[in-house]
Amino acid sequence: MPIYTYTTLDDLPAVNGTFATGINDNGQIVGYSFDESYRGFLYSNGAYTTLNDPSAGSIGSFAVGINDTGQIVGSYFDANSREHGFLYSGGSYTTFDDPLGVYGTVPFGINNNGQIVGLYRDNTGTHGFFLFNGLYAPVDDPSAAFDGTLASGTVASGINNTGQIVGYYTDANSRSHGFLYSNGTYTTLDDPLGTNGTQAFGINDQGQIVGYYRDAGGTHGFLYSGGTYTTIDDPLGVGQTQAWGVDASGHVVGYYNDGHTNHGFLLTITPNPPPPAGTTADMILRGANGSSNPG
Among the listed residues 56, 99, 103, the one whose alpha carbon sits nearest the alpha carbon of residue 75? 56
Alpha carbons 202 and 200: distance in angstroms, whole number: 6
Query: Which of these, 292, 247, 241, 250, lies nearest to 269 by C-alpha position?
Result: 250
Read off the pLDDT of each residue in 199-221 and give the average, rounded to a whole number. Answer: 98
Q: In Å, how far are 33, 77, 210, 252 from 20, measured between CA atoms?
A: 9, 19, 13, 10
Reported as a single tens digit per residue, the pLDDT across 195-208 is 999 999 999 999 99
Q: Is residue 286 pLDDT above 90, yes or no?
A: no
Whether pLDDT at 284 is above 50: no
Cis before 142? omega within 30: no
At residue 97, does pLDDT exceed 60? yes
Mean pLDDT of the chain: 92
57 vs 129 pLDDT, higher one: 129
229-241 pLDDT, tens digit each:
999 999 999 999 9
Given pLDDT bands bounded at 50, 70 and 90, which one contains residue 281?
A: low
| Mean pLDDT confidence for 59-82 | 95
The separation between CA 31 and the C-alpha centre of its own chain, rounded to angstroms, equals 10
Q: Is the pLDDT of residue 279 over 80?
A: no
Give the pLDDT mean for 106-117. Answer: 98
Q: How far apart are CA 2 and CA 251, in angstroms?
A: 13
pLDDT given at position 144? 97
The CA-atom distances, in angstroms, between 244 and each of 45, 149, 154, 278 are 20, 24, 17, 42
* 0.85 surpassed by pTM: yes
Measured CA to CA, the distance from residue 129 to residue 171 in angstroms comes to: 18
3-state DSSP call for residue 288? helix
pLDDT tens, residue by residue, 14-39: 668 999 999 999 999 999 999 888 99
- Sorted by where each starts, the structural domains of the chain and their CATH numbers stand as 3-289 (2.120.10.30)
